[in-house]
Amino acid sequence: MFGSPSITLILKIHYKVKDGGQMIASGESDAFGKNVVNRAVRMRSRDGENWDAKVNINVGETLLVYRYGYITDNKSRFEAIQSLRSVSLEGLKKGDTVIMRDTWRSPKSNVFVSTAFREAIFAGSPEGNNTPVRQDSALGDKSAATRWKEPQKDSVAVRFTVVVPRLTSGHSIRLTGEHEKLGKWDKESTLGLVNLGRNVFSLMLEFPADELPFEYKYCIFDKEGEFVFRERGTPRELEAPTDKVKFLSVDENFKYENVWKGAGVAVPVFSL
């Protein structure tokens, strides 16, 4: 008996798990164990930091939602749930392979994606209007960030995804880098990412395989289209997929220049 036609996902994530723990990937799909910990995908690592796993997905599935976690001493811990990690399979066909280079989403930083921060602290108000502006965007065409297209010969289709927890209302996320498609670091030639909601932004691009690796960064622009700032630290590097894989997804966290600080007043419940 033959199995269902499938698409292969190669999961890769760097995260140091202490005390001999086991990294897992869990999700709603059968392939990810239907969110049951003991049925989740078990990942492999030689050093306890760099993990990978191969998952076969039925061609009929179009969207996968999953998250990473780890098991130590019979206890499980998972990454943040405020921004769901998802990958679209639209446009892929039987036999295709996608390399997923993911980044751990820390619960500490992703608290800024909660409703309290998104719709109150970071929500701006139009002039003369005290109503906060919602940052999520459920409207518009998302295909530029969700639908895979077969790349040309000797090229790679790349999906860039970034979570930007501390985002002021009206600000947008753009991509810059040394590659010609990314404007060669020119602020006037950056590429805008699509808002998928809950502070997740994404964009699909295609590059000749022999033009990888190259450096890049994410940057923030205000609602007037003016440059605000670029990620801190050394640039990221997009490396070519191994084994001539034609589809690559990179899922990352925005690198801020400084730590966010806030002030408030704690009011004891009994005093209310």
pLDDT digits (tens, 9 = 90+) for 61-100: 999 999 999 998 878 889 877 667 888 999 999 999 999 9
The full set of domain ranges for the chain reads 6-253
Strands (DSSP E) along the chain, which ranges? 6-14, 22-27, 41-42, 50-58, 63-72, 75-78, 85-88, 97-103, 155-163, 172-177, 191-192, 194-197, 200-208, 214-221, 227-230, 236-238, 247-253
pTM (2 d.p.)? 0.83
Give per-residue pLDDT as tens, 100-133. 999 999 866 554 454 444 444 445 433 333 444 4
CATH superfamily of 6-253: Immunoglobulins (2.60.40.10)
Residue 150: the pLDDT is: 96
What whole-number distance in Å separates Cα of residue 64 and Cα of residue 225?
A: 33
Element holding 59 (H helix, E strand): none
Quote the pLDDT of residue 272.
53
Return the DSSP state at 144. H
CA atoms within 13 A on the CB side of 271: 3
d(CA 13, CA 99): 11
* ∠ Cα 133 134 139 (to 5°): 125
**For a pLDDT cut of 70, what percent of the chain falls above it?**
79
From the centroid of its chain, how far is CA 149?
19
Among 200, 180, 171, 245, residue whose Cα is nearest residue 87 = 200
Answer with the residue of higher pLDDT: 177 or 124.
177
Cα–Cα distance list, 189 to 36, 167, 176, 178 (Å) = 45, 22, 8, 11
